[in-house]
Structures are given as C-alpha cells and as structure tokens.
Amino acid sequence: MKCFFSLLLILFVAGACETFEVPEPEGVEDFEIKGLTLDNFPFIDCSTSTSPLRDMVMYSLLGISWKWGLDVVSGSQYAVWFDLPKGMEIGSDEHKAFTNRIHELDGYSGSHGAYVNLIDGVCDVIIDSRDISRNEKEYAMEKNVTVVTKPIAWDALVFIVHPDNPVKTLTTKQIRQIYTGEITNWKELGGEDHEIHPYTRDPDSGSQEKMETLVMGGQKMKEWPEMMGNTMLSPYVSVEMDPYGIAYTPFYFCERMVRDLRNVRVLAIDGVYPTAETLLNEVRGQKNGYPFYSHIYAAVRDSQRKNSHPGQIYTWLSTPKAKDIIDESGYIALRNL
C-alpha cells in the first residue's frame, strides 16, 4: 500500500509539473490586444538570445519603430534599438519619462532567470530560448504556480572553432565523442596533433540544455570546470583566443547578434552547414538538413492566461502578425510547412 501511494504521488508530481502547448482559442488569426499603453505594458523577460525578438514584440504592440544597431555597452553584439516618437523633444520631461519606462521594460535575466522571475511574479510573460527545465518545474510546484509554455519559433545549436582550425565538418558521433572525452586530439579528426579543448556552458543556460538534449542523446558529458563559460559571449571569447577550442552557441545569436564581431568559424555537422534553409530541411524531414534544430518558447503563468494583458500577449504570439515579426527578427516562426 505504501508503494502504491508513493506511485500515486510520483504520478501527481509528474502531471503537475508537466507543461505543454495549450490549444489557442478559435479566432486567433484575428486576435487583437486592446488597451495596451506604455504605462500598463507587462514586463516580458527573456533570455539573452531572444532579447531582440522580445524588443520587437514590445515595440510593435506599442506602435514604436525600431532598427538594428551595435550594442554600444558591450560592443560585442548587435541589438534592437527603438526610435523616439515623432515630435518628441530630446531632453524634455516627456522624453525622459518615455526612455525611462522603455528601459524598465527592456532588461533581461537569461534563460533560467526569466523562468524564475515568471514563477515569482517579477515578470508577466517570457520569451525564452528553451522550455521550462525540471528544476524550474519543481520550483514552480513549491510556489504553487502553474506555468504554461508553447513553442513559437525555430532556432538551432551550432559549433564554433578558431578560424585557423583546418577541420571544417564533424559528425554527430564525433561531437558526442569529443564531449564525452573519447576523442581528445584534433589529429583524430583530420586536424593538428594537439589536445582538443571542449568549452561548455553553465548548467542552467539555454545553450547547455540544448547541448544535452539535442546533441548528446543521453550520453553524459565529461566535466571541464576550467572551460565553462557563464555568458553568451563566453564561447566566442574562448574559441577566438584558443586555436584548439570548440564550443557551442545558438544559431540565432551567432548569425544575428554576433555576426562579424568575433573571429570564429561555424562547423558543418554531418556535412551540412547551418542555415535557415538547412534547418527547415531537417524540420520537414528532407535531405540536406542541419540536425540540431530547437524551439523558442513563450510562457505565462496559467492564472493570467485569461482576461489579462500578459495572457493576451501570450495568445497574440500565435497570430499571423506576430509570426511576421518573428520572421522579421531573424528567427523562423512556426507555420504549417
């Protein structure tokens, strides 16, 4: 009997923690959000790599124009910048209030931080590079919060090396063997006779979650504490300075946010170079597909799914207009293929 009740508890916990795409209400094609203003706009948190999409969503819903430009703070990536409304005088009280409010809304906490903030009620909606993790589900249960998630776009995980590395392509098996420690020398892969330095990301990062679920196929990665990076730019800085390094990073972050600002080279996997076209080939089950594709997710607390601006934004993210913005951002919106 004790075992029976233990099994019931396990099933209850698993069911309570489960998140899945909830069917959108009928008429989502014509769904519009009414009454949104800059003053009442909900805080949409996000991961680093989804911050341009979050900004474009926010600016679009507020009727603010935007443009891509260099992130002047870091100088190491591109970002989306808002334009001032026409007629707004720089330095005026109106200008100060406008920019202060925008800056309140455009911060981001990273993949893990965004989910924690959603559970804690610090933010209202999130656009994240991954689905909610097991640890975050458990934390939500402790807080008696139900989180609803859905995929809204495609991304991928890509591998980068130093430009001087002669290796141009690796197989999925070889990538796994590098990160399990079975292959330790570039000579085994057609490169120089030198030890491989496999760089990794911190455990709660979206990149690490994608690496473990998309690439490793259940195989345990060897730990290299001295080669763990804590920021999105860590793989680029590490590989740029290390001719014998290899690292992984989201395709979108590499193609749209880093671009030509870092001196690294992207590898082909199984002979296929990652592009939007080869990513979709894999999604469609066609030939010449890049294997490591993933989803971008939206999430909201279930208690706010109805009759609230956060819930309306969550629903709106599945509309044709939202999908157009997703495509414009550089991600690939989920559509019927």
pLDDT digits over 66-91, tens only? 999 999 877 889 999 999 999 999 99
Kindly report the average pLDDT of the chain as a whole number. Answer: 90
Same domain, 160 and 267: yes
Predicted confidence (pLDDT) at residue 224 exceeds the cutoff of 70: yes
Same domain, 198 and 187: yes
Identity of the residue numbered 72: V
Same domain, 139 and 162: no
Same domain, 159 and 287: yes
Same domain, 203 and 313: no
Same domain, 51 and 162: no
Name the burial class of residue 154, with classes exposed (0-12), middle (13-18) and buried (19+) by CB atoms within 10 angstroms of its CB: buried
Q: Which helix (H) or strand (E) holds 238?
A: helix 234-241
With vertex at residue 329, the alpha carbon angle to CA 304 and CA 157, rounded to the nearest 5 degrees, is 90
Identity of the residue numbered 288: N
pTM of whole model > 0.85?
Answer: yes
Q: Residue 119 belongs to what domain range?
A: 26-154+295-333
Alpha-carbon distance of 131 to 114, in angstroms, equals 11
Alpha-carbon distance of 232 to 75, in angstroms, equals 14
Same domain, 86 and 164: no
Asked if the structure places residue 267 within a domain, the reply is: yes
With vertex at residue 143, the alpha carbon angle to CA 140 and CA 144, rounded to the nearest 5 degrees, is 85
The DSSP secondary structure of 253-266, one letter per residue, reads IIIIIITTSS--EE
* CATH number, domain with residue 256: 3.40.190.10
152: tokens are 């809204």
Same domain, 316 and 273: no
Asked if the structure places residue 72 within a domain, the reply is: yes
Same domain, 162 and 94: no
**Closest by Cα among 316, 297, 296, 295 to 305:** 316
Convert the pLDDT of each residue in 277-306 to its tens digit.
999 999 999 999 999 999 999 999 999 988
Alpha-carbon distance of 285 to 54, in angstroms, equals 29
For the chain, first and last CA: distance in Å?
50
pLDDT score at 15: 38
Task: Please report, rounded to a whole number, the percentage of residues in the chain having pLDDT higher than 90.
Answer: 84
Q: Give the total number of structural domains in the chain.
A: 2
Q: Which helix (H) or strand (E) holds 81?
A: strand 78-82
